[in-house]
Structure 1
Amino acid sequence: MTRWLFLAALLIAFGFAGVYTYLGGFRAADVQQQTTAQPIFLAGRYFSGRVSNEQFGPMFRQAQQLHATGQLRGDLANIYYNDPAAAEDTVRAFVGLIVADTVSQQLPTEYRYRTFAAGQRVVQARIQASYLVAPDKLYSGVKTYAEQHQLKLAQVYLERFGADDQAEVLAVVK
């Protein structure tokens, strides 16, 4: 009986490892420092409050639904104006989609535009992985790079989740 339990546990562990590999969990982020060349436009909604707030989760789902139905064209994206892990679970964020410009699409009534300015020094981390595992890889890559190069981060982060599981974070450098 013990042998069967061991084999079942081993099979489950290999299954989880396979799924994690498929999602891109064993990939490392490509990290570099650069200056943003062009402004990045986002269409979305602003949120300030606790991550556990019941309004925060539906904002992501609404952006995903607007993207899936074609009401808004662009990549799912967020701007975080603080580090939620360091701010004791309080977040200030703009949740929505990166759009090509501010004139070619009709926004839903609750949506507004925000701009991530050009000319900012940023640490950019990119990875091809599912949005389920990408944020941890991207943020740890950004923070490690900043420590190694003695950079201070301004606690402003742009997350982008594009097609084919392409994900990136731009962290503004002070």
Structure 2
Amino acid sequence: MTRWIFLAILFLTAAGVVVYGYLGGFRKPDVAIITTAKPVFLIGQYYNGSVRDEAFGPLFRQAQQLRASGAVRGELANIYYNDPSLTRDTVKAFVGLIVADTTSQKKPDGYRYRVFPAGQRVVQARTTTSYLLAPNKLYPAIEEVVKQQKLKLRQVYLEQFAEEGPSEVLAVVE
């Protein structure tokens, strides 16, 4: 009986490792210090409050639905105004979609535009890992480079989780 339990545990562990590898869990992100060349425009909604608040989660789903319906063309993205990897309670975020500009599409009711300005010095972390695993890969990679280069984070992060292509986080540094 214990032999079968051992084999079942072994099989489940192996299956977990295979799935983790398939999702890109073993890939290391590419990290670079760059200056943003052009502004990034987002359409979305601002949120300042508890991570556990029932109003926070639906913002992501609403942005996804806006994109899926074709009402707005763009990639899912967020700007965080505090470190989301360290946030335990309060989050300040702009949740929405990256758009090409602020004039070519109709802005839905309740949505606003934000700009992630050009000319900012940022730590750019990119990975082709699944968006399910990407945040846990990108933020530690950023922290490592910031620590090695003795940089100071300004606590502004642009996250982009593209449907096709790499996921990316830009962390503004001084």
TM-score (norm 1): 0.96
Q: Give the C-alpha shift of residue 166 in structure 1.
A: 1.6
Runs of 4 or more consecutive aligned structure 1 residues displaced over 4 Å after TM superposition:
none
CA contact (8 A) 1:131 1:165 kept: no
SS in 2 for 1:119: coil
1:37 aligns with 2:37: yes
Q: 1:110-135: per-residue Cα shift (whole Å, max 9, x none)? A: 11000000000000000001111001
CA contact (8 A) 1:129 1:165 kept: no
- Corresponding letter in the other structure for 2:117: A
Q: Give the C-alpha shift of residue 87 in structure 1.
A: 4.5
Partner of 1:141: 141
More off after superposition, 103-112 vs 80-89: 80-89
Gaps of 5+ in 1: none
Aligned pairs (5 A) from 1:73-92: 73-92=73-92
SS in 1 for 2:26: coil
SS in 1 for 2:156: strand
Partner of 1:115: 115
Q: Give the C-alpha shift of residue 165 in structure 1.
A: 5.1
CA contact (8 A) 1:123 1:170 kept: yes
Distance 2:87 2:162 in 1: 27
CA contact (8 A) 2:51 2:88 kept: no
> Share of identical aligned residues, percent?
61
Distance 2:157 2:85 in 1: 13
Gaps of 5+ in 2: none
Aligned pairs (5 A) from 1:57-72: 57-72=57-72
